[in-house]
Every structure is written in structure tokens, then in C-alpha cells.
Amino acid sequence: MSSADPPNTPDAVKRSRYTYRHFQLLRQSSTATPLRAIAHIDLDAFYAQCEMVRLGTPRDTPLAVQQWDSLIAVNYAARPFGVNRMVSTAEARKLCPNIVLQHVATFREGEGGRWAYRDDSFRSVKTDKVSLDPYRAASRNILATMKDELQRWCTDTSEGQLDHLTQGITPGLEKASIDEVFIDLSPLIYSVLLRRYPELRAIAQDEKQVAELPCPPTTALQWASEDSLIDLDPLESEEDDPDWDDIVMLVAAEITRSVRNAVWEKLHYTCSAGIARNKMLAKLGSACNKPNKQTVVRNRAIQKFLGGYKFTQIRMLGGKLGDQITAFFGTEQVSELLNVSLEQLRAKLDDHTATWLYSTIRGDDRSEVNPRTQIKSMLSAKSFRPSINSIDQAEKWLHIFAADIYGRLVEDGLLENRRRPRVITLHHRVVLSRSRQTPIPGSITIDENLLFELAKTLLRQVMADGQVWPCANLSLSVSSFEDGVGKNKAIEGFLVRADQAKSLIHARPRDAGILNEQPPADKKRKIDGIKRFFNQPHADDPAASDNESSQPPLAQDLAPIIQEDIAVSPDTSDALQFTCSRCSKSIPEYDREEHDDWHFAKDLANQDRQEARDAQQQSHPPTNSRASNTRGRPGRGGRGKSEKGQMRLAFQ
């Protein structure tokens, strides 16, 4: 038999085309093994389903989610009527007289920062701001349900004598958006296969890892009738005996089905899934059969499957890069781009992008499932239909933004000191957009008013920087989240003690238990400084001049405060000192325990962070550098540097 023959051609001694090494790599979610299994799960018309669940709408009732005068989600019952996202509410009603149009929840000016579903919100673009909170909440529940179900598979799988082979496995779950997740099923499948196929246990650690596996004992796989299989490539046949990659997909489909089923049983949401060897294929697969179906792309089906696509449908190729490639090579079809050699790609694209594209359209995507479920930033924004023209108007919206974000921070565990943002940013647009950000001091208690005051300060900076009115868009965001210690009971205990100790020693209220950026003994009274700053009346109109001597009010006001703080700061001189072996800082003896605890907590946090990014990608997505430079930087003139430096001094 020639080497060109398909490896699973019947033969005297049948061997798998996969090795023990391939199999073992599943355990650690290696990106390199051809036996890898990734699921992409996508909630069907998510916002619409959220409203259906909330309102108790029957599944066959057409429903769409409305935002002002347009639709942002349309359920599957409404789609046959021709209702889609780009349709106005009036058109939707004409197309489908019985459709339920539910407006999104909104915040309303002067209503205490609480969002609500309101009958008249569609008339209130002027006063209301959209809230997506209900959908974020649903997303969290769904994610938790998925995790539970996966955990069930983990514990059900590891028992008895196989413990040593299967314990400690964790399927990576990446929240890709509010309604999408990727799951790396590889480790889970590794343990399931070990249980179900004793022949796989034979070799554990030998030098013979390169040896081929025995063929799977099964000759015909029982695929669930609800699952859609992508047709095999032309040279492959369903009659051929399955190899281990087929078994892997079968188990992956079984696990994914159970996850989807759990979401349905517990929360009444349907979702669609794609199951394949990597994220790209899984993602394409999940869109193939909607709603409420899952699609399996077996290895032997990849070429035909991908060849039928326009490459502009592949992740990262939907924008300008895709347009450029189309222009360069005169086609959008993957099948035609396959005829372009790597050299030819390199002639038009930078090396990175060329090699990435070359492998990607051949079905090779080595990107990791990033085990991340937590949000990285929070943004609250509003576009102004007629632009707004005064700082008064702007500050009303800043109030709403602050309330919105604060509420979300609380949901995120701010009050339990689980997570807090370190940076706040204000974006602003007239025609072009600009933004300003500033640190949120780790020593300060975040509340709604703090966010508002910081936002106001940033707005003044933006104003001092150039044209602001008429303002077409304003947004406030927080980012650079820092892990606190709320999850850990032991640490929480320490915090209570530490806090009591602190208030005894310093008679300082309300600084409760935040894991600060600096060891407690080291940080001074920046809190008071900042509060004082905010209470100071701003005799400012910085509008005048980009003159070097005219500093923004912030820097000027804060300089003396910091000085004073240092001068006034107590401790150190009289007390007994010890020098910490970890950070070489000199610490008062009575703060020693707290300081040690701080290191302990910080280590834990670092460890967590490390685990979170343990897996580093080895396949790099294309860079988005070229294609961009169509817009020259509108060089913001005047003052930039001294201000930044002083801000940092002031706030951190």
C-alpha cells in the first residue's frame, strides 16, 4: 500500500493513524494534537430569548427586542415573517402583526441609577440610556450552569482505580461574548476515553509514545439523531472504520449535548453548538444549524467544509484585512485562495499574517481556549441624536454612567472585595473621538460618587484639550481589574482582623479590607487627600491656553496635599521597626502580622493570575497594524507630558 493511501484503508494489522503521544496531549489541552476537541456554544437570538424567559412568552410566539426605533434581536419564531435586525419597529409590525416588541430596560435621568423596563422608553431617547444588565445576568447564570454540568462530567469520570489518571482535569471555558462560549473538551475526553477504552491505558509514560494506538474497537458509531454531521471530504467514506478522532468527536458531541440540555432544563434557553478540532471550525460549525442544534465537523470533513466558505466569514477576516485579501487575490472563496502559495501570500501580506492565513484556510488553527469567564472592562455609553451642548447636560449623563457602572461593579463583587478596577476612562466624540483616563487609587473606597467625580475631572481635561461641543457621543468605562481576596475564606478572616487592628491603631474608619496595591504599612493617607480634593471648589476655566504655566487644576491642587500628607504621616519614627524579607521595606512591628498577611494574599492573587494565563498562544492571529494608517493622528497639541506625570503622582 502506498503512503498516499488513506491511513484507514483496511489492512492486515490495523493501526490508528494517531499515537499515544497524540492521546496523552489531550490531558493538558495541548493545542498541537490532532485529537483535540473544541465546542463553540452560541445562545439562539440571545436577547430575544432573555425576554421570552422573563415574560414567559411561548416559544412559538414571534418576539423581538427593541431599542428606540430599531430591533436588536429577533427570535426564530419571527424570522419566517421576514423580520430581521435591520428592520424598524413599524416595518416589523407590518410584516408580523402579532409580534411582541419588547423594549430593552433603561436608566432614566433622575431615577436613582436604577434600570427598569418602562412602557414609554421608546419615546425617551432623550432621557434614557439602555441597560443590558438583564442580559448580563442571564449570561452569568447560563455560564454557571454550563460549568456545573462540565464539573459533573469531571467528577463522574474520575473514580476508582483511574483516579490517578483522571483527577485534576479541568475543561477550559472561555466566555467569548455575552452569548458565546468556547469549551476545550480535550482533558475531559481524555478521561472519558480512558474509562471506556481500557486499551488506551496500556502505555503511560514509555519511550514508545510515538507508537500508533490500536484501532478503536468500534466499527460503526452511533451518532445522536439530533446532531448534524458535516459531510466527509471527497476521498473519505462513511464506510471506513472510525479512528480515534471520530471517537473523540462522538464523545465531544455527547458532552456538549448534555451541557446544552442542562441549560435548557434548568434555565429554558436553547443554544446551538459547533464541535470540531479547533476554535475556528467550531465557531463556523455552531452557525450551521440554528436554532437548537449542534454540528460536528470531523477531521475527515474539514477540507470540504472549509472550501465551501468565503474566507471573509472566518474570524479576523470579516473586516478590512479580509477586504484587502479579496482585493489582492481577486476572490473571497477559501477554495480559490487555497491555490495561492505561501510565497504569493507573503508578497502581499506581512509574514505573520501570510502564514496565519495560509494555515487557517487549511483548517489549522492552534489558538488556545483562554480559561477566562470574568469581564475585563465595563463601559457605559450614550450617543446623542441631537448633539448635546453644555457641561450640565454632559454631567447628567455622567451621573447615569457612574450609577450604571457602579451597579455592575457591585454585581462583580466590589463590595466583597473580589475585584476592583484600577483605571477609569472617559471617551468623547464630536466628529473625531478622544479619551482621557486616570488611575483609581487602590486605597480609596469606590462608590458611585467617586466614579462620578473622576468622570467629571476627566471631562474637564477633555474640555481643556480641544473642541467638545457639540458632543455626539460620551462614554465612561472602567478597566484593569485587580483581584481582591473575597473568594478565600482564610483571607477574609485575616481582613476582618486586619481591619479591626487598623481602626484600633489608626482610628481610621471605612478603609475596609481592600487588597491594596501597596502593603498597608507603606501607604499614606491618600484617601483624605483625594476627598479633600473633591470637596474643593474648582475655580477653573482651563479653556484658556495651552500655555505651559497654566496647569490643569488637578495637578495644582494635589501637589500641596501630597506634601502635607507626607509631613503629617504618623508611625515610622518612634515605633519598633522590622525589615520585611520579602520587600525590604521597613515596617512598624505592630503592623508586622498584617504586612505578612498582605504578602500572603498578594501571592495568592498572583498565583491566580498566573493560572489564568498559564496557557500562552503559539499561533498568532494576524496583527491589525497595516490597513489602519488611513487616519493620521490628529496630534493633540499643547500640553501632554507634565500633566500625565503629575496625575500619576497625585493618584498613585
Partner DNA sequence: ATGCGAATG
Partner DNA sequence: GGCATTCGCAT
Binding site for DNA (CB under 7 A): 67-68, 70, 72, 85-86, 129-132, 136, 177-180, 283, 315-322, 370, 375-383, 385, 404, 423, 425, 427, 432-439, 461, 473, 475, 477, 621, 623-625, 627-628, 630-631, 633, 636, 644, 647-648
The sign of the CA dihedral 545, 548, 549, 554 is positive
Least distance to DNA, CB of residue 157, Å: 29
Q: What are phi and psi of 296, to 5 degrees?
A: -110, 125
Instruction: Please say which residue, 103 or 129, places its beta carbon nearer to DNA.
Output: 129
What's the closest the beta carbon of residue 622 comes to DNA, in angstroms? Answer: 8
Asked whether 270 and 48 are in contact (CB, 8 A), the reply is no
Cell of 529: 487627600
Nearer to DNA, 85 or 508 (CB): 85
Rounded to an integer, what distance in angstroms lies between the CA atom of residue 274 and that of residue 284?
A: 7
Distances (CA, A) of 493 to 122, 231, 416, 594, 635: 49, 58, 12, 12, 51
Strand partners, 375: none
Q: How far is the CB of 79 from DNA (least distance, A)?
A: 16
Burial of residue 493, with CB atoms counted within 10 A of its CB: 0-12 exposed, 13-18 middle, 19 or more buried: exposed
Closer to DNA by Cβ: residue 35 or 173? 173
Which lies closer to DNA via its Cβ, residue 283 or residue 300?
283
Query: In terms of CB distance, is 52 or 554 closer to DNA?
Result: 554
**Amino acid at the residue 7:** P
Query: What's the burial of 156, exposed, middle or buried (CB within 10 Å: 0-12/13-18/19+)?
Result: exposed
Q: Which residues pair with 471 in a beta bridge?
A: 388
Query: Whose CA is closest to 157, among 202, 196, 186?
Result: 196
In degrees and rounded to multiples of 5, residue 286 shows phi and psi of -65, -25
Cβ closest to DNA, residue 489 vs residue 631: 631
How far, in Å, CA of 628 to CA of 624, rounded? 7
Specify the residue for cell string 498578594.
Answer: 602
In the complex, the smallest distance separating the C-beta of residue 643 from DNA, rounded to whole angstroms, is 8
As measured in angstroms, the least distance from the Cβ of 75 to DNA is: 15
Query: In this complex, which beta carbon is closest to DNA, that of residue 73 or of residue 200?
Result: 73
Q: Which is nearer to DNA, 552 or 588 (CB)?
A: 552
DSSP state of 88: B
Least Cβ distance, residue 181 to DNA (angstroms):
11
- Minimum CB distance to DNA smaller for 212 or for 332: 332
Shortest Å distance, C-beta 10 to DNA: 41
**Cell, residue 8:** 484507514
> Which C-beta is closer to DNA: that of 170 or that of 312?
312
What whole-number distance in Å separates Cα of residue 524 and Cα of residue 459?
28
3-state secondary structure of 63: strand
Nearer to DNA, 377 or 579 (CB): 377
Query: Closest CB to DNA among 396 and 434?
Result: 434
Which residue shows C-alpha cell 499561533? 619
d(CA 298, CA 249): 7
Neighbours of 490 (CB within 10 A): 11
Residue 607, φ and ψ in degrees, nearest 5: -60, -45
User: Min. distance of Cβ 319 from DNA in angstroms?
Assistant: 3
CB of 180 vs DNA, minimal distance in Å: 6
Who's near 280: CB < 8 A, 6+ residues apart?
A: 314, 315, 360, 363, 365, 367
> Nearer to DNA by C-beta: 143 or 381?
381
Q: Shortest approach of DNA to residue 312 CB, angstroms?
A: 8
Cα(647)–Cα(652) distance, rounded to whole angstroms?
8
**Looking up cell 504578602, which residue turns up?**
599
Min. distance of Cβ 128 from DNA in angstroms? 9
Separation between Cα atoms, residue 591 and residue 516, nearest integer Å: 15
Grid cell locating 477: 468605562
State in angstroms the smallest separation of the CB of 77 from DNA. Answer: 20
- Shortest CB 330 distance to DNA, Å: 19
Which has the closest alpha carbon to 153: 249, 279, 259, 269? Answer: 259
- Whether the CB-CB separation of 276 and 296 falls below 8 Å is answered with yes
Strand, coil or helix: 284: helix
Closer of 98 and 623 to DNA (Cβ): 623
Q: Write down the least CB distance from residue 422 to DNA, Å.
A: 8
